[in-house]
Structure 1
Amino acid sequence: MTTLYGIPNCSTVKKARLWLTEHQIDYTFHDFKKQGIDAGTLSDWVARIGLVKLINRQGTTWRKLSDVEKARADSVEGAITLLIEQPSLIKRPVLITGQHAGVGFSEASYTEEFGQ
């Protein structure tokens, strides 16, 4: 089962979705702004991907946070709570396949993952 997590209007998510569709990869799309994201899923992602890669510290949402809110991201528990409250802080897209978990999109990495 392949699941792509993201926000539909994100340009990188659009590229990933298009690539998956063009390569006839069966996947489920999870809009974490509309459908939300739970602590268990985020804990799994932190374990598999890492907190540093998972949090988008370059985006507008991060820059709008207070220093106190940003400091919450220094601990796993605080970061998970922050990501639940502000899903736009999650780097996009997150791709989960059998054993693979990754963030972002590149044709090369998707080609490697799916053997295309």
Structure 2
Amino acid sequence: MTLKLYGLKNCDTCKKAVKELEASGRDAELVDIRAEADLAVKLPRWLAAVGDKLVNRSSTTWRNLSDADKARAGGVSLEGLLLGNPTLIKRPVIEADGEILVGWTAETKAKIG
């Protein structure tokens, strides 16, 4: 089974995740969230699974948002904020066996196996 990683082609963390997965014998496909992913379909599912953990609050994009937009990140318009600013999505988002995992952390690696 090929794991789908949603991120950015130039993101070092995403590249590292794909490289480590392939080195461990797993097939991994990186889908660019700006150019290739259908975020209108994906975001509701991701948000239902992980909530605002999907927002990368340490990104440059986050720091450049207005206070009003940052306030939206805690409310019902989070989906709209992420649709308008896909680089706010914490990367990579991994779809594995029906589970949604966010970030390339020790916890994520353990769940993937």
TM-score grouping bracket, smaller chain normalisation: 0.7 to 0.9
Q: Report 1 or 2 for greater relative contact order, CA contacts < 8 Å, sequence distance ≥ 6.
A: 1
| 2:58 is equivalent to residue 25 of structure 1 | no
Say if 2:47 and 2:54, in contact at 8 Å, map to a contact too. yes
Alignment length (residue pairs)? 112
> Which segments of 5 or more consecutive residues in structure 1 lack a partner in the other structure?
none
Say if 2:3 and 2:95, in contact at 8 Å, map to a contact too. yes
TM-score of the superposed pair, with normalisation by structure 1 = 0.85
| Map 1:6-17 → 2, pairs under 5 A | 6-17=7-18
Residue 73 of structure 2 aligns with an amino acid whose one-letter code is A
- How many angstroms does 1:7 deviate by? 0.5
Q: Residue by residue, what CA displacement relative to the aligned partner does 1:23-81 show, whole Å, maximum 9, x if unpaired?
A: 12123221012224422311111111121x100111110111111111221223x1111
C-alpha root-mean-square deviation of aligned residues, in Å? 1.7
Distance 1:108 1:41, change over 3 A: closer
Q: Secondary structure at the residue paired with 1:30?
A: strand
Residue 95 of structure 2 aligns with an amino acid whose one-letter code is I
Runs of 4+ in structure 1 deviating by more than 4 angstroms, as ranges, are none
TM-score of the superposed pair, with normalisation by structure 2 = 0.87
- How many angstroms does 1:11 deviate by? 1.3
More deviation, 100-109/25-34: 100-109
